[in-house]
Structure formats: structure tokens, C-alpha cells
Amino acid sequence: MASWPSSLPQTPLLDGYSDVPQNSVLRSDFDTYTKQRNRFTAVIHDVSEKYVMTNNQYTTFIEFYEDTLNFGADVFTKTDPVTGLTKNYRFVEPYSSSFNGVLWVVELTLEKLP
């Protein structure tokens, strides 16, 4: 399995970062009460991250995304910025990027797998 390149920033910006667990609770309404139960034993998290990259880092990121991950189709490992543990991630949709003339801002929409 591929790993997030060490030459890329290892921690996303705080601005724009979110980590939200997907809903795993199934609710059933009955006449007298509502019953709830978990559908899964582990939950996927929806993650949004934003990185600032130099031109060289951006080139490395593009090669990682297109060549190593087959345009984002494959799973990869990287460090969870909150826990510091290595987790499995996959892209939900293509990245978006903008350039201010000096640096690239790259926004990722990922799933953190259980």
C-alpha cells in the first residue's frame, strides 16, 4: 500500500480541517419508543484537509495522486494529525488547488478508513 510522501507537508492547516464520523446508527420508530442500534462495528470518517505546498511539493503530490494512487482510486496510509497514528485513507473526490504566485493551496476530501 502506498504511503503519503515524506517530502509533502505532514500536517494540514487548521483552517479548513474537519474530521466527522459517518452516522452508523439505525433508528426504528415503534408505537411507544424509538429503537436504535449500530449498523457497523467501525465507522468511516469524512475528512477535509488543506495543505500549503511549494512548486516541488505540488509536483510530488500530482505524481503521487495520478501515478501512485491511480488518480485517487487506491487506498494510502498517512499520519492522522489528531492522534499521530498511521491510518488508511482514500480520496472521495479529486483534489482542488489554487496558486497565489508563490505557493499552492491544495484541498483534499478524504475518507479515513477504520
Q: What is the pLDDT of residues 26-79, one digit of tens each?
A: 677 777 777 776 666 688 999 999 999 999 999 999 999 999 999 999 999 999
Q: Which of the pair, 26 or 82, is modelled with greater confidence?
A: 82
Contact (CB, 8 A) for 77 and 86: yes
Using alpha carbons, select from 52, 42, 44 the residue that is nearest to residue 17.
Answer: 52
Q: How far apart are the C-alpha atoms of 36 and 23, rounded to whole Å?
A: 12
**Phi and psi for 51 in degrees, rounded to 5?**
-125, 145
Q: How far apart are the C-alpha atoms of 51 and 77, rounded to whole Å?
A: 17
pLDDT of the residue at 30: 74
**What average pLDDT does the chain have?**
92
pTM score: 0.84
DSSP three-state, residue 71: coil
For 72-108, the three-class secondary structure string (H helix, E strand, C coil) is: CCCCEEEECCCCCCEEEEEECCCCEEEECCCCEEEEE
Q: Which of the pair, 23 or 104, is modelled with greater confidence?
A: 104
